[in-house]
Structure 1
Amino acid sequence: MSPADPAPSTRDPAASRAAAPVEPPRAAPPGQQFGGDLLTEIFNNSMDPGYADAAEKGRRDTPLGVAGRVLALAAIGFLLAVAYLKVVADTPATTQARDKLVADVKRDQATADRLETDAEKLRDEVSGMRDQAFREAGGDAKYLRDLEAVTGLGRVRGDGIVVTVGDAESAKDPVTGKPKAENSDGKIYDRDLQKIVNALWYAGAEAVTINNQRISGRTTIRAAGGAILVDFKPVDGPYRISAIGPSAMRRTFDATPAAKQFRALAGKYGLVFGVKETDGMTFAAAGDPQLRLARPVPSPSPSPSPTPSTTPSGGGR
């Protein structure tokens, strides 16, 4: 060994390690899922082999597959265009049909109002002729008019109270300003109007109306969808329930459970509820009832007097 070469025993191990070449890290085999460093493996092989095969297969699609997709997209676009043109073409017809229905409803409503006015005039004429016939025959027409007033078939006038109820105002969204979802606890239903009417009868009312519609013994208060019907006629809120009765009716009504309940609901949910006294109210008569089961009973004819017996015992033998 020449003097220029250092002895092996005097070589620095650290220097020997530093001089050794560094091998680059080997890549993980394609199917390997786990290695020494799991996080490194996840970043290096982030795509599942199945997804990689599917992507490679899509890149190797034939021109026929690409053309098929293009044709499918074109067909979908054509169908959408046809549907849009169909909707646009049908819009004028739909609008015309809706306008025609609205016009028919308004015309029929005007006809019904005119017929109701004519019926009221004819009812007054019949009442006048009936009263005249009663007077000529020596009868008491006032008693018959009183019966009509009690049953709701005659026009009445007098002092009383007006109860106003209505739905609570819907809360509005602070951002959009639109009403939020309707609160069922703050809504007036048909049963609520029934409670108020019954409470007014209890308080001594002699005649009652709901939004100027007279309440009689055959009046129905019911719901149909979202509307309230009084004798099959819709009424809108706020509802005005008017009653003619004694001067103490206001105080008696305020003490009823129905009035207390609606005051509590008004304070809790914001329902509209108010009671005020009103003088000089006039109520129209209710419609003539259509009797289907009841029949008038004819006046009984006087029975002939029995033939007097000629025997002292009265013909007992």
Structure 2
Amino acid sequence: MTGTPGDGRGRGDRVYAPDFLTELFRNPLDPGYADAAARRRERRDPPSGWRHWSARSVALLVAVALGFLFAVAYRETLEAEPGRSQARSGLVEQIKQRESDTDRLSVRADELRAEVARQREAALGGSEAARLRALEAGTGLGRVRGDGVVVRLADAPQKADAVTGTDVGPSRVIYSDLQGVANDLWAAGAEAIAVNGQRLTATSTIRSAGQAILVDFRPVTGPYEVSAIGPGSMRERYEGSRSALTMRKVAEDTGLSFGVREAEEITLPAAAEPRLRYAEPSVSPTASPSGAERSGPSGSRTSPSPSGGGR
């Protein structure tokens, strides 16, 4: 389109309408869609002041709820504390009562054992009584006295962690340590051994139950003393044993206490009477399937034992 002479433009100036394709690429979305999207955002998003008030309200409600729960838990804890304290006191009292009963029965058992020994010696006579005392001393059923060695083991002192500052568990003496000490003392020539006063016999056991150590099913607590009666060379022979070398190395690394000393006139108590079980050959209710029989020592006909002679 060309201008007229009176419009103030020169003949060479020309004005073009906007290019449709250029405008389409610049603004592909119709203005009506943009206005509708803006109106939806305004309806969906509340004002900033409303959002701030809602966040504070939610935080306040959460704080009130937590405070209420803590108050209820604290009140229930205070109400239940007397019951727990009473139950704990009752358990402690029962434990003390059971320990007292056990000690009393142990003393009574020792008295009865001594009375039985006196009656037995009176019935047997001099030589037989002396032989019986020697057998009891060798098997652990009689009290013995003599010179020997005492091996002492104790847990390491409790320490605090260098990073957290909390107490960490000490290095503890375990049942296998006592087993190794006892076995090597036997190998060094010990004639009688006791662990914290518990005499060891051929049927004795040293084991653990949780964190407790049991000797013949009786608990022993640290420090642990393994007392042994034997020849004068027993300490020197034990010092070179595997358990002594191992425990000294453990003591250097962890702080666990380990020591060996000679002792004079050690008295080791007698062990409790063992409950022995005897094997008996089984007797077949019927004859053997083959019907075979054999002659006994007296010429009588007997059936063979199905267990191979009862062994």
Task: Output the TM-score relative to the length of structure 2.
Answer: 0.68
Alignment-mate amino acid for residue 241 of structure 1: V
| Structure 1 residue 58: Cα displacement | 7.5
1:54/1:166 CA distance change after superposition, 3 Å: farther
| Structure 1 residue 193: Cα displacement | 0.4
User: Could you say which residue in structure 1 is the equivalent of 2:12?
Assistant: none
Q: Superposed, which structure 2 residues align to 1:182-221 within 5 Å?
A: 182=169, 186-221=171-206
Q: What is the SS of the residue equivalent to 2:159? A: coil
Q: Which runs of 5+ in 1 are unaligned?
A: 1-52, 297-304, 307-317
Contact 1:157–1:281 under 8 Å retained in 2? yes
Distance 2:203 2:80 in 1: 46
Q: Which runs of 5+ in 2 are unaligned?
A: 1-42, 281-297, 300-311
Residue from 272, 275, 287 that aligns with 2:260: 275
Distance 2:172 2:74 in 1: 41
Distance 2:127 2:174 in 1: 46
User: Could you say which residue in structure 2 is the equivalent of 1:286?
Assistant: 271
Q: Alignment identity in percent?
A: 43
Q: Superposed, which structure 2 residues align to 1:38-77 within 5 Å?
A: 56=46, 59-60=49-50, 77=67
Q: What is the SS of the residue equivalent to 1:60? A: helix
User: Could you say which residue in structure 1 is the equivalent of 2:91?
Assistant: 101
1:244/1:179 CA distance change after superposition, 3 Å: farther
Q: Which moved more, 1:120-129 or 1:223-232?
A: 223-232
Alignment-mate amino acid for residue 139 of structure 2: T
1:244/1:57 CA distance change after superposition, 3 Å: farther
Alignment-mate amino acid for residue 182 of structure 1: G
1:55/1:225 CA distance change after superposition, 3 Å: farther
Distance 2:198 2:131 in 1: 24
Contact 1:170–1:179 under 8 Å retained in 2? no
Alignment-mate amino acid for residue 131 of structure 2: Y
1:111 aligns with 2:101: yes
User: Could you say which residue in structure 1 is the equivalent of 2:78?
Assistant: 88
1:114/1:295 CA distance change after superposition, 3 Å: farther
Alignment-mate amino acid for residue 161 of structure 1: V
Distance 1:68 1:253 in 2: 75
Distance 2:148 2:202 in 1: 20
Residue from 145, 156, 160 that aligns with 2:133: 145
Contact 2:195–2:224 under 8 Å retained in 1? yes
Distance 1:190 1:227 in 2: 9
Alignment-mate amino acid for residue 110 of structure 2: E
Distance 1:215 1:226 in 2: 21
Distance 1:224 1:286 in 2: 21
Distance 1:141 1:57 in 2: 108
